Structures are given as structure tokens and as C-alpha cells.
Amino acid sequence: MSYGLLLLRVVVGGTMFSHGAQKLFGWFGGHGPSGTAGFFGQLGYRIPLLMALLAGMSEAGGAFLAFGFLTPLACLGIVVVMVNAIGTVHLKNGFFNGNGGIEFPLTLAAVAVALAATGPGRFSIDRAIGWDDNISGVWWGVGVVVVAAAISFVTQTVGRRRAAMTEAAAT
């Protein structure tokens, strides 16, 4: 089981880190903070640069997941970003990723929730420092879902302009 958890953490954490690095540093073909802020502005976010930085930091926190350090917090950051991505960009495109749908962000969010509930496994910093018994279990997974939903609700209702939300829902 520990090898499977390690594989999941490294692949999903590395994937999320690379997306965050695109937003924060322009690495891996990304657009950096200003380009990402422009995209967030088009989505109707009131403070697009701040939202771009927060999204980038949450995704770059995938490095914590890859190493199994503060695993539930890393999972929370991933789920918040993925729920917002689903709500603002992907939902209108249906399910399949080939059409820009929710398939990929939903899968990443589900893996993050499962890892929060399961724990990081034997090959993790959390285990090495003795935290893994205290920061895993089904209630950690439930907590990640509930807190991510609350943060995403606030982000969508307070952080975006009403006209942009109506336009996004119509398309």
C-alpha cells in the first residue's frame, strides 16, 4: 500500500507543482503571474493578480504532497483550486477532458481527497516526523471537502464580479 500511495503522491503532487510553477514563474511554458492574472481577469475575478498568486501557490504546494509533508493542507490547496477550475472553466464543457470538461480536475481533486483520508503512507516526511497518525483518517478527507467547498463558494461569490458569473453560466 505504501508504494501505491507514494506513486499517487509523487505523480499528482508533481503535476500540481508544475501547474503552479507555470503560474508563479512562467516555467514549463506558463505565462507567469501577469499572464495568469490576465486570464483570471477574463474570468471575472475582482483581484486577478492576487487570485493568480493564490492559485499558483496552492498548486505549487503539490510539492508538499509529493514529499508527504503537511499532507492534508497540500490536499486542501489542490481541492480548492480544482473546484474553482471546475466551476469557472470546465463545467460548461461537459465531462470529457478532450472537450475541456471536468474529467481531469475532478480526478485530481478526488485523488487529493482520498490521500487526505488515507494519509501519506510510510514513505513520507509526515511519517518520518511522527505526524501521520494524527493527520489522516476519513474525517480529514471529509474536512478537506467541506473546507474546500466553503473556500470555493466564497471565491466564486465574493471574488468574482456578478456579470462574469452570469456570462460564464450562460456559455
Residue-by-residue pLDDT tens, the chain, 171 positions: 899 999 999 999 999 999 999 999 999 999 999 999 999 999 999 999 999 999 999 999 999 999 999 999 999 999 999 999 999 999 999 999 999 999 999 999 999 999 999 999 999 999 999 988 887 789 999 999 999 999 999 998 888 886 555 565 555
What domain range is 116 assigned to?
A: 2-170
**Count of other CB atoms within 10 angstroms of residue 37:** 20
Total number of domains constituting the chain: 1
CA distance 170 to 100: 16
Calculate the CA 76 to chain-centre distance: 7
